[in-house]
Amino acid sequence: MFKIIRKEILNPSVSLIEVDAPYIARKAEPGQFIILRVDEHGERIPFTIADYDREKGTVTIIFQIVGQSTERLNELNAGDSLQDFVGPLGKASHFEGVKTAAVIGGGLGTAIAYPQAKKLHAMGVEVDMINGFRNKDMIIIEDLCADACTNLYTMTDDGSNGNKGFVTAKLEELISAGRKYDIVIAIGPLVMMRAVCELTRPYGIKTIVSMNPIMIDGTGMCGGCRVTVGGETKFACVDGPDFDGHLVDFDQAIRRSKMFAKGERRSREAHHCRLEGMDRA
């Protein structure tokens, strides 16, 4: 069992938990992920590692409530325990030779982009971080991101935080103003990552994206997390999650991402019905 040390509600649909997992914390690196089960009857669900503390022996994940499993996970609090917490899995990100970088997070993707920016910043890299949210109420970990980069730009679709626009508009503005990047890292919704890649392609800027498709075993055996990269089939759990964004078949990835949306919604609704039945009882 893995004890939850801390829980924080970041916005109405996103929560953070810090888990006591010293063996994972000892080896975790940005870009890697864990797979957990809430209890012995729960499904295996992957989460990219948002942070880790080797001294405390803890690993932090940030998750969005989208289905029954994340709903049940969100019902736990500090002091409760998870049945399984396995990792670190996947390949760690590598940034050798990088001197300037743009790290872009879209919505919940900000939680995954944060450790990338933090690692680069600690290496002495000049980091521009651009995060995008629908509105100011959805903004998460802004203070942490500010400490993990040279310049932070937080954008909102509706401008409710004073900075209206998409992350691509801010990135294009910075590039047009003469900013030179060795690498751009984009993490978030597939449509956002695709838009960033199309923006950087004509400039010839190396662009890395984090692919997080449906995943079951995390070892490359089930094939559920397959993505097409450069015309070849790759498995995000063992070949990634980081890939060259200019080679990813985003159209295919977007189609596959919608396969289980209805099932997730029905599962969450059924869970709510069970909880309401228990309350009435």
* Cα dist from 85 to 5, 52, 107, whole Å: 14, 14, 24
Element containing residue 19 per DSSP (H, E) = strand 14-20
Whether the CA torsion 163, 181, 126, 51 is positive or negative: it is positive
Q: In angstroms, what is the C-alpha Rg of the chain? A: 19
CB 73 within 8 A of CB 25: no
The beta strand positions in 54-193, using DSSP E, are: 58-64, 81-82, 84-89, 100-106, 126-133, 151-156, 183-187
Whether the CA torsion 211, 52, 76, 145 is positive or negative: it is negative
Q: Is 62 annotated as a binding residue?
A: yes
- For the beta carbon of residue 241, count every other beta carbon within 10 angstroms: 27
Element containing residue 14 per DSSP (H, E) = strand 14-20
- Bridge partners, residue 34, by sequence: 47
Q: Is 64 annotated as a binding residue?
A: yes
Q: Is 68 annotated as a binding residue?
A: no
CB 168 within 8 A of CB 153: no
Q: Is 237 annotated as a binding residue?
A: yes
Peptide bond into 241 cis (omega under 30): yes
Binding site per annotation, positions for [2Fe-2S] cluster = 222, 225, 237
Q: Which residues are annotated as a binding site for FAD?
A: 62-64
Q: Which positions make up the binding site?
A: 62-64, 222, 225, 237
